[in-house]
Amino acid sequence: MNLYNVVSVEEAKRIIDSNFQLNLESELVDIKECNGRILSRDIISSSNIPGFKRSMVDGYAVKFKDLQGASESMPSILNLRGEVKMGEMPVESLEFPGECIYIPTGGMLPKEADSVIMIEYTDKMDDATILANKSISFGENVLNEDEDVELGESVLKRGTLFSPYSVGMMSNLGITQIPVFCKPRVGIISTGDEIVAPEKQPRPGEIRDINSYLIYSSVIEDGGQPILYGVIKDNYKTLFETVKKALDECDIVLVSGGSSVGKKDETAKVIEELGNPGMLFHGISIKPGKPTILGRVKDKPIFGLPGHPLSCAVVYGILVRYVLHTMMNLQEIEYPIPCKFSTNYHKAKGREEYLPVIIDNMEGEYTAVPVLTKSATISGFTKAWGYIKIDKNVEGISENQKVYVYKF
């Protein structure tokens, strides 16, 4: 295989789709632990919800016809028959025209009642007489027995990312053991003679390990289980044994550093040596992030990510996250923010570029301002709100041109 015979992002994703059966097992977790997890099967309602007609307001349950033509100047006079108590079946019903029953918000609608008038539109003459000052329509202020959820309705789809609202729906359905995908185990390996642990004081020529912790946090955010294998020096045998161990224990392996072309860059050699088919591509046509490797060993994806933090983060966001989401069947929809661009910006044709930006609100209009930084730095990257994607066939962006900003 020719090194740096680069592929596009779209080609890289097609290679991923055609080479891996990215399926995870499912497990049951307690409802209190499912927020942020991915649903592994469709949830079908076994009942109507709320299951009975209930009032949406504090007021009086009535027959709507009894209030037709009612106004402040000519109110309808209603006989009060009693009240509905929360959590109980109504004792009273509307037996004759012109009757009403007090009902609190959430109370069960009495028999023969079809609507509720808000208490704000009534006056109480005495303990037995209510004046209604407003006409209402049929079914007004009433939630029907299947208006929230219908029997047999598909409430949540496989691949749903649980939020507090979907957790609340599970409680509403009476489901407390939630089927979710197991968290994909992601092995993280940093390589390089110059890399030291963050708690150590670097000597001249050394730098602290950024990528391990950047990736570790990203994997957690994406619903995975990160496993750190430490910093491996540029030694083929040590790297080989570490990658082999990670492949035995994990669903996907990420090797940071060692993906560019050079005599000490061993990641590609390790992937080729560990098994067929080995490397699937070496290089993608993006900036930053060109020196990226994808291999297949034991039917598992192994990435060689660039060592520079910005490049590493971009490739993770484009391809590794794609793999993780595919594993969990997560269908994520991005909603970019339209902005105007703050300046003229030139890029070379042929590579898709991901440019970090901050967003300013200038004169009531969002403006994307580029954070100009080198791929080896992280300070500018941390200041950015998101990024814009510049097509590989475009040579740049003009000042005031409309762009779309994606959140990191």
Question: How does pLDDT run across 173-203, given as a tens digit for each residue?
Answer: 999 999 999 999 999 999 998 999 999 999 9
Query: Could you give the angle at the alpha carbon of 314 between the alpha carbons of 309 and 317, nearest 5°?
Result: 125
Most distant CA pair in the chain, distance:
95
Pair 392, 382 in one domain: yes
Domain of residue 41, CATH code = 3.90.105.10
Alpha helices in 67-210 (DSSP H): 164-173
Domain boundary among 282, 308, 327: 327
Domain of residue 371, CATH code = 2.40.340.10
Pair 69, 116 in one domain: yes
Pair 291, 371 in one domain: no
Answer whether 122's CB lies under 8 Å from 135's CB: no
Buried b or exposed e, range 236-262, using 16+ CB within 10 angstroms = eeebbebbbebbeebbbbbbbbbbbee
Segment 158-177 mean pLDDT? 96
* Within a domain: 312: yes
User: 151 pLDDT exceeds 70?
Assistant: yes
What is residue 259's predicted lDDT score, i.e. its pLDDT? 57
Segment 270-294 mean pLDDT? 92
User: 140 pLDDT exceeds 50?
Assistant: yes
Pair 213, 304 in one domain: yes
Task: Provide the domain count of the chain.
Answer: 4
Pair 161, 274 in one domain: no
* Within a domain: 332: no
- Indicate the DSSP class of residue 153: -
Pair 233, 187 in one domain: yes
3-state SS record for 2-50:
CCCCCECHHHHHHHHHHHCCCCCCEEEEEHHHCCCCEECCCEECCCCEC
Bigger pLDDT: 263 vs 93: 93
Instruction: Give the whole-angstrom CA distance, residue 240 versus residue 230.
Output: 14
Other CB atoms within a 10 A radius of the CB of residue 355 amount to 24
User: Which residues does 403 contact at the CB level (< 8 Å), separation at least 6?
Assistant: 338, 339, 340, 341, 368, 388, 397
* Within a domain: 2: no
Residue 22's pLDDT band (boundaries 50, 70, 90)?
A: confident
Buried b or exposed e, range 97-125, using 16+ CB within 10 angstroms = eebbbbbeeebbbbeebbbbbbbebbeee
Domain boundary among 286, 307, 327: 327
What is residue 4's predicted lDDT score, i.e. its pLDDT? 60
Answer whether 282's CB lies under 8 Å from 268's CB: yes
* Within a domain: 3: no
Residue 401 CA to its chain's centroid (Å): 29
Residue 263's pLDDT band (boundaries 50, 70, 90)?
A: very low
Pair 177, 39 in one domain: yes
Pair 76, 96 in one domain: yes
Instruction: Give the whole-angstrom CA distance, residue 255 versus residue 212.
Output: 9
Residue 257's pLDDT band (boundaries 50, 70, 90)?
A: confident
For the chain, give the mean pLDDT. Answer: 93
Residue 2's pLDDT band (boundaries 50, 70, 90)?
A: very low
* Within a domain: 1: no
* Within a domain: 138: yes
Domain of residue 250, CATH code = 3.40.980.10
Pair 34, 176 in one domain: yes
Question: How does pLDDT run across 78-91, given as a tens digit for each residue?
Answer: 999 999 999 999 99
What is residue 261's predicted lDDT score, i.e. its pLDDT? 56
Answer whether 403's CB lies under 8 Å from 353's CB: no
Task: Provide the residue range defining the domain that includes 126.
Answer: 54-143
Pair 188, 215 in one domain: yes
Domain of residue 58, CATH code = 2.170.190.11
Report the candidate in 238, 237, 218, 234 with the shortest Cα–Cα distance to residue 226.
Answer: 218
Question: How does pLDDT run across 300-338, given as a tens digit for each residue?
Answer: 999 999 999 989 999 999 999 999 999 999 977 889 999
Domain boundary among 155, 181, 207: 181
Helix or strand holding residue 101 (H, E):
strand 99-103
Instruction: Give the whole-angstrom CA distance, residue 330 versus residue 223.
Output: 10
Other CB atoms within a 10 A radius of the CB of residue 205 amount to 7
What is residue 265's predicted lDDT score, i.e. its pLDDT? 66
Pair 68, 208 in one domain: no
DSSP codes of every residue in 349-367 = TTSEEEEEEEEEEETTEEE
User: 373 pLDDT exceeds 90?
Assistant: no
Residue 240 CA to its chain's centroid (Å): 35
Pair 199, 271 in one domain: yes
